Structure formats: C-alpha cells, structure tokens
Structure 1
Amino acid sequence: MQKYIKIPIFFFCLLPILIIVYQIIFNQLGPEPVKKITHVTGEWTLRFIIITLAMTPLQKFTELNFWISYRRMFGLFVFFYASAHMMTYVGIDYRFDWSSIGDDIIKKKFIFAGFLAWLLLVPLALTSSKRMIRLLRDKWKKLHKLVYIISLLGIIHYLWLVKVVTVEPLIYLIIIVILLTLRVKMKFN
C-alpha cells in the first residue's frame, strides 16, 4: 500500500520544479527570472528540510511507522532542490565564473553558509540507499545527524540573505527550532 502512496507523493514533490519549468517555457518568471528561480528553489529546500525533520516526531506522536518510510525520499528532495538552488546561482547567475563564485564564498557570509550546507548534504545524498545504510551501520546514523547542522545553516543562509528580518525566514526558523527541540526531547525521554 505504501508503495502506491509514494508514487503520488514523489510527483507532488516535483510540482515546484515543474511549475518553474512551465514558467520558463511560457516566460512567466517576471522581470528577474534568475532571482525568482533562486528564491523558489531555496524556499523549497527549506520546506523539504522541515518535512524531513518532521517525520520522526510524527512517527513518535502518532505511533505510526509509515512516516519514516517517506523520510529518505523527502531528504533526497532536500538535496535536489538545494542543488537546483546552487546550480541556478553557479550556472545561470554566475555562468560558472569560478573566480567570482570563490570570492562570493569567502566575502559573503550568507553564500558561505549556503555553500557549506550544500557540501554537507552531498554525503547524506550519497549514503541514502539501503545498501549504504547496511554498509555504514551505526556510522550512518551519526553521519545523517548532519541534517541538524544543515537545517540551521539553511535558515542562517536565508536570514543573512534578507539582511532585514522579515516574517517568512522567522517562521522557518521557529519551525526548525521546534522540530530540533522535539528531537532532543525524544532522545532524552
């Protein structure tokens, strides 16, 4: 049964990128298309981080194990949208000008935080298969705790980007802090 539920969830998770592709094809991204794509992919990265972090608390509170079976898929969508976000910056915005990108990483702290978050996501994506879970055993769990640091780096990236604190990044921050707090409480109970 869960197999049949995963397929529509998978396509639902693709919806934001399909909307972007549609908007590109029909020239509906507005006056700053690169900025729009960067913003949308960044927001969806944070949303999927939140969804991924919510799976364990949902399992604990509802006592239903099926939540955990979706966690890997949501985690891979975090990497997918984070990579789309970064590739928009690297490939479209900077056209692979590695010198300028390197300068940005060093000089702009929000770029550094985002780049570091993406780098930390790479080993999580590479070790997300069942085979890698079996191969790494206990080390896998330790490695995948990087998601906590990644979630904080993601929200720091957003907060430093906007410079002036607005409601939207604060909402993401509050949700992430609540989810991380729940995980800490569950660990010590």
Structure 2
Amino acid sequence: MLAPRQLQVVKALLFVASLLPFARLVLATFTDRLGANPVEFITRNTGDWTLYFLCFTLAATPLRRISGWNWLIRLRRMLGLYAFFYASLHFMTFLWFDHFFNVAEMFKDVAKRPFILVGFTAFVLLLPLAATSTNAMIKRLGAKRWQWLHRLIYLIAPLGILHYWWMKAGKHDFANPTLYGVIVAVLLGMRLYWKFARSETEKKAMVSRAG
C-alpha cells in the first residue's frame, strides 16, 4: 500500500503524463506539423486517446485484483476524467470544423450517419459520469445509486469501439478497432467471471450454513 504522500506523487505524475498528448497536439498545431489534413489528424488523435483512457479506466479494477495494489483504484477517477476530456476535444473538433458550431446541422449529421450517432451517444452518456465524479456527488446520490450510474462505462466503452469500427469499415481497416475490441471484451469478461465466481461462492456458503 502506498503512503498518502507517495500516492499524491503518483497522481501528480499521472496527471502530467495524461496531459502530454494534448500538449503534443497543441505544439503540432502551432508549429504546423498536423500533416496534409489537420482536421483529420486532430480528430483521429483525440479519438484514439479517448479509447486509450477508456481502456485504462476499465483496466484499473482488474489490475488491482490481480496485483493486490489497492491504490490503483484511487487513479480510476482521474483516468475516467481524462477519457471525458479527450472525448470532449474529439466532439468539439467535429462540431467546430465539420459544422462551424451549427448545432442544428450537427444533429442532422448525427441522425444521418450511424457511426456518428453511436459516437455521439457514447459522449452523451459520458456527461453524467463526469458531472458526478466528485465526492460531494457521491454523497448526494448515495453510494449505491452512484455505482449504478457509473456502470454506464460498461456500455460507453463498447459504443466507442463500435463507433471506431464503423468509421474504419469504409476503409476496410479493422486491425485497430479489433485490437481495442478484444481489450475491452477481456476487461469486461474478467468482471463477469469474478461476479459469477462470487455469486457461486455465496450460494455455497448459504447452502453450507443451511446444512
């Protein structure tokens, strides 16, 4: 178990490291290194990092269970907020450069193109998770309701994968979407396995007590 000061150092390092992709993007913007299609570069970069952080967030619990490092759970909130941060940049790129902040036109595009609808749905579902990420909101909602709400991450991550897969389908490039899909499937599958195993253990314990 990390001491409180050590945990603060780890959190600070994680905070800075998580900002590096954004800093790199800003630097590339001001030094004209976004390539021939800057909008595509920004869209792809922010979308990729959204998926990375969704995977990092989902990985916190399995890694904690496997390693016994309980302090990893203390990093999950920050990882989730960074997933929201990069998702927001991804969405703003779409709203700004594709539709010049014309919300009505944006919604027409969302309704017309299924892969955008899926991605937009995932982003909308992220909003309440980010809004209720504070300790004050946990107390206000109650731990049980808060936990149920934040299980939306188990839907958001597959929707993000589907959004990416659908977007790549036009280019017949399924390598990265498949990789992310396998990672998310494994992380969610581990949770289901542990839940089933715990349920079986509890049933056996009840039978043992009844006998």
TM-score exceeds 0.5:
yes
User: Within 5 Å, which residues of 2 pair with 1:11-160?
Assistant: 11-136=16-141, 137-160=143-166
Partner of 1:162: 168
Amino acid at match of 1:24: T
Larger Rg: 2
> How much does 1:80 deviate?
0.2
Amino acid at match of 2:147: K
Partners of 1:92 and 1:15 in 2: CA distance:
23
Partner of 1:171: 179
> How much does 1:148 deviate?
0.6
- Count of aligned positions: 189
Partners of 1:115 and 1:166 in 2: CA distance:
21
Query: Does 1:181 find its partner at 2:189?
Result: yes
SS of the aligned residue for 1:40 comes to helix
Residue identity (%) = 41
Partners of 1:107 and 1:93 in 2: CA distance:
14
Partners of 2:115 and 2:87 in 1: CA distance:
14
Amino acid at match of 2:192: V
SS of the aligned residue for 2:177 comes to helix
Amino acid at match of 1:98: V
> How much does 1:143 deviate?
0.2
SS of the aligned residue for 2:36 comes to coil
Gaps of 5+ in 1: none
The list of structure 1 runs, each at least 4 consecutive aligned residues, that deviate by more than 3 angstroms after superposition, is none
> How much does 1:28 deviate?
0.2
Partners of 2:46 and 2:79 in 1: CA distance:
14
Partners of 1:20 and 1:93 in 2: CA distance:
19
Partners of 1:104 and 1:186 in 2: CA distance:
41
Q: C-alpha offsets along residues 8-65 of structure 1, whole Å, 9 cap, x if unaligned? A: 1101000111000000000000110011000000000000000000000011111110
Higher relative contact order (CA 8 A, sep 6+): 1
CA RMSD, Structure 1 to Structure 2 (Å): 0.9
